[in-house]
Chains A and B, each alone.
Chain A
Amino acid sequence: MTATGHSTHASELSHQFENIEQQREAYVVGMWAFLVTEIMFFGVVFLIYTVYRVLNHAAFYDAHNKLDIGLGALNTFVLLTSSLTMALAVHWAQVRNRRAQIAALAATIALACVFLGVKAVEYSHKFTHHLFPGMGFAYPDPTFADQARLFFSLYFGATGLHALHVAIGVLVIGWMLVRALLDRQGRADYIPVEMTGLYWHFVDIVWIFLFPLLYLIPR
């Protein structure tokens, strides 16, 4: 290959790579490195939460009773299902089944939106019950009020960051969907879909940790 090779190759190969294999491997390594930064990012959130739960156990137990376990469990189910549809989308992208891939991507987006909708309902309940740690914060039991405020700060911080990741996921999966819709010959590289899948499973795993940590505190 010569220096002008990049223009003669398939349009999906960037000039800095020798061949499509190298490009794919680079994307995979890059994605995993990115996920490592995400793990460190959420790791700190989990760490802070764990430290404070140990230090303020009684208050956190009391405060966690204000969360809706039913909605939390529903969201866990929704997100796990979306991971399944995402995995199917990756599979169908690899075997170049374009219609099935489009359907699976659309289902994933729909489930993600359901998740965000349920989350919005939960948030609005907290607002109406004055449990958002802002100006109007009011906690029924005054002996725990201060530490409950910390609990809800961490709750909104952690789930908010997670919800932001879900929202970004919706955008990226939407981009993959558009890409698949436009790719009538079904020739597009499957690697972007696979990378999106990795990201989505990561977002899912974060919730798998968040749900028991926040909603299921033992006495």
Chain B
Amino acid sequence: MDIPLMPEQASSFAVEVDAIYFVLWALTIFFSFLVMAALVFLAYRYRRGSKVDRSRPVHSDLRVELIWSVVPLIIGLMVFAWSAHLYARTRIPPKDAMEVYVIGKRWMWQMQHMNGVRENAELHLPVNRNVKLTMISQDVIHSFYVPAFRVKHDVVPGTYTELWFKPTRVGRYRLYCSQYCGTQHSQMDGWVTVMEPDAFERWLAAGGEKGSEKTLSLAEAGKKIFDRMACGSCHGSASELGPIPASQRGGSLNGLYGSTVTIKGGRRVKADEEYLRESILRPNEKIVDGYWAIMPSYEGQLTEEQALQLIAYMKTLGKADRSGGAE
């Protein structure tokens, strides 16, 4: 009989999460046993008809009440702090992480590596390398869950969510959608394959499972969309645009990603993936100070995949020649 009691510990978080988990079980078993033993012992000793001293019954005792509220509270808060500290580290991705884009749709996972290699329901990763997933759903809420990594995060329509981890063991691990998403929710699963770094590089260079077929990188695909939609006629460099003042078109996008922009009303926002996505789809919500609200909305004209490709392209535009804002 094969009873799975524990998923493999295949990420840097797994050991730490399991430590908290087993400490909590120790506490659970200890306190359950303590209370049940007390209950059974007292109930037996003071069973009706037993010859024991029942005089001077106690009905209340402040010291006892304080002890059994404060001691569990202290233990609980220690666990809280330990766990919250680990959680904070799981939520803040390191700068050097390798990026993969994930799109969830009913009922399939679609992964995109930066060099353009795509996978469905499979994700190949190198071992011992920080990986950051930027995820979005095309329809309902999904949740990206790899038990062996002890990580999980919902994949929501309309907004990017992030997940990061470091696989530490070569192998194949189950991937699930863990947020109920409809008819074939339980079939929206897949595999994460963790490979040796050089094997992974070979796999990636060869274009993944599909083999020899040459694919565009995400940024290259983004540039094609950028050109096809003629984004450059407003967001090009000053030399291309001639006499129209920058305020009546859009600014250059060079170096925009990761910078901080001041929008109308004086608020300062960070130009991250989420901001870029909103500025493409609903451009007039956050107008950069000094520009006109003239950019049309691209809501419904771009798929989530294309939006991600455009953002990937914008991220490659260097920090040099920074002359304007976003719109």
Contact = CB atoms under 8 A, between A and B. Distances in A.
A144 B285 CA distance: 9
A143 B296 contact: yes
Interface residues of A, number: 10
A142 B282 contact: no
Interface in A145-186: 146-147
Contact of A143 (B264, B265, B284): B284
B299 A146 contact: yes
Q: Specify the main secondary structure of chain B where it touches its partner.
A: loop
B287 interface: yes
A137 to B, nearest CB: 15
Contacts of B264: 58
Contacts of A111: none
Nearest to A146: B299
A56 interface: yes
Contacts of A59: 284-285
A56 B278 CA distance: 11
Interface string B249-290: 000000000000000110000000000000000111101000
A88 B287 CA distance: 52
B297 A143 contact: yes
A146 B299 CA distance: 9
Nearest to A144: B284
A81 to B, nearest CB: 37
Interface string A46-67: 0000000001111100000000
A146 B285 contact: no
A142 B296 contact: yes
A144 B283 CA distance: 9
B293 interface: yes
A60 to B, nearest CB: 10
A7 B296 CA distance: 75
B121 to A, nearest CB: 32
A58 B284 contact: yes
A146 to B, nearest CB: 6
A18 to B, nearest CB: 32
The 9 A-B pairs with the shortest beta carbon distances in the complex, nearest first, are A143-B284, A143-B297, A58-B285, A58-B284, A56-B285, A146-B299, A143-B296, A144-B284, A59-B285
13 contacts: A57-B285, A58-B285, A58-B287, A59-B284, A143-B284, A143-B293, A143-B295, A143-B296, A143-B297, A146-B282, A146-B297, A147-B282, A147-B285
